[in-house]
Homo-oligomer: A and B are copies of this chain.
Amino acid sequence: MNVIIAGFGTIGQSFVQLLMNHKEFLKKAYGMVTKVVAIVDSKGAAVSQRGLDLNLVMRCKREYGTVAKVPSVGYEMSFLEAIQSVEANVLIEATYTNLTNGEPGMTHILTALQLGLNVVTVNKGPLALAMPMLKEIAEHRKVALKFSGTVGGGLPVLAFARECAKGDKVVKVEGVLNGTTNYILTRMEDGLKFEEALIEAQEKGYAERDPTLDISGMDTACKLVILANEVLGNRVTLKDVRVEGIADIKPEDLKIAKNAGKTIRLIGVAEESEVFVKPLVIDQSDPLAVKYTYNAITLTLENSGRHTITGKGAGGRETATAIIRDLISIKERLVVT
């Protein structure tokens, strides 16, 4: 399987590291032999149809900050030039999230789909803005569009939903989908003010310097769009989601909730009729009442009730594992076809 990687930050590098560490295991367990034929970052690309020397690429990236400097295979080349200069089966899209127009990921994914490549994206932006369209194009071109790493980090949420739905029907999806806001709410429960909890989250590396996407509920909304499309079959994009963040929550609100055996969590809710993100008061015994940076997704099934999966939110390695899982699915599909 020939792979192109677009975007070579924490996740892209974690993925390459995982690929190197588990080369033998992946070959033995899944017959999967992965050749990375191109890696593109913001300054250029490293390209080799015979497969890049991954150790060398990692070393150059660390040393010079770009793969364009890899001896004899690195160029000041655009993504478009790179993808046209190699033969590949899969694009791994791992550039940054842009909720205005989804670029550059949107162009990467569209180009790859048009060229008949399968796509694995860990970038939520293009999906949040245009998932119904992207799914249709992938279907039309008869290629896979995979995105396990966009929701719940390493948690196999989407596969879990598919399995739950066998012989049953998912009627509602609820999720605590953002570790940053959940950490802040958990600490506010302990008595901290919003600003104190935010600073603590930033110090611990759980919140970014500009935490707007998290606090505003937009990150949760992006993930919810993906769940609504994939699990419920809703054709929705970001503009269909009513979004309310956690900026107005006060420690007193959490105190009142706590004294009543309840708590407040920022929850994304998707049903057939509506999709919204909002801080909700829930029972402390509710499986969604997870603490700190945990994520949780609850599926309500017609026959078998509420099922929840819980785990730590995304980290580089967890998300990289999700990419591997998607590649294995694509491999299995390639064999079947």
B-contacting residues of A (Cβ < 8 Å)?
18, 22, 26, 29-30, 153-156, 159-160, 163-164, 166-168, 186, 284-285, 287, 290-292, 294, 301, 303-312, 317-318, 320-322, 324-325, 327-329
Contacts and interface: CB of A to CB of B under 8 A. Distances in A.
Contacts of A311: 287, 304-308
What copy number does this chain have within its complex?
Answer: 2
Contacts of A310: 287, 307-310
Chain A interface main SS type: mixed
B290 A317 contact: no
A327 to B, nearest CB: 8
Which 5 residue pairs are nearest across A and B when measured between Cβ atoms? A154-B304, A167-B324, A285-B291, A308-B310, A159-B163
Nearest to A158: B163
Count chain B CB atoms within 10 A of each CB in A163, A301, A304, A320 and give the residue with the most: A304
Contact of A163 (B30, B163, B301, B318): B163
A322 B294 CA distance: 28
Contact of A321 (B155, B167, B324): B167
B304 A317 contact: yes
B155 A324 contact: no
Contact of A166 (B167, B290, B294, B325): B325
Count chain B CB atoms within 10 A of each CB in A307, A317, A327, A328 and give the residue with the most: A307
B156 A160 contact: yes
13 contacts: A26-B167, A154-B307, A156-B166, A160-B163, A166-B328, A167-B321, A285-B294, A301-B321, A303-B317, A304-B317, A305-B312, A306-B312, A308-B309
Contacts of A160: 156, 160, 163, 309
Given A166-B325, A167-B327, 20 more contacts: A18-B303, A154-B301, A154-B303, A154-B305, A156-B307, A160-B160, A160-B163, A166-B324, A166-B328, A166-B329, A167-B325, A168-B324, A285-B292, A287-B290, A287-B311, A301-B321, A303-B317, A305-B318, A306-B311, A308-B309
Contact of A156 (B154, B163, B306): B163
B312 A309 contact: no
Contacts of A307: 154-156, 309-311
A308 B296 CA distance: 9
A155 to B, nearest CB: 6
A301 B320 CA distance: 13
Contacts of A312: 305-306
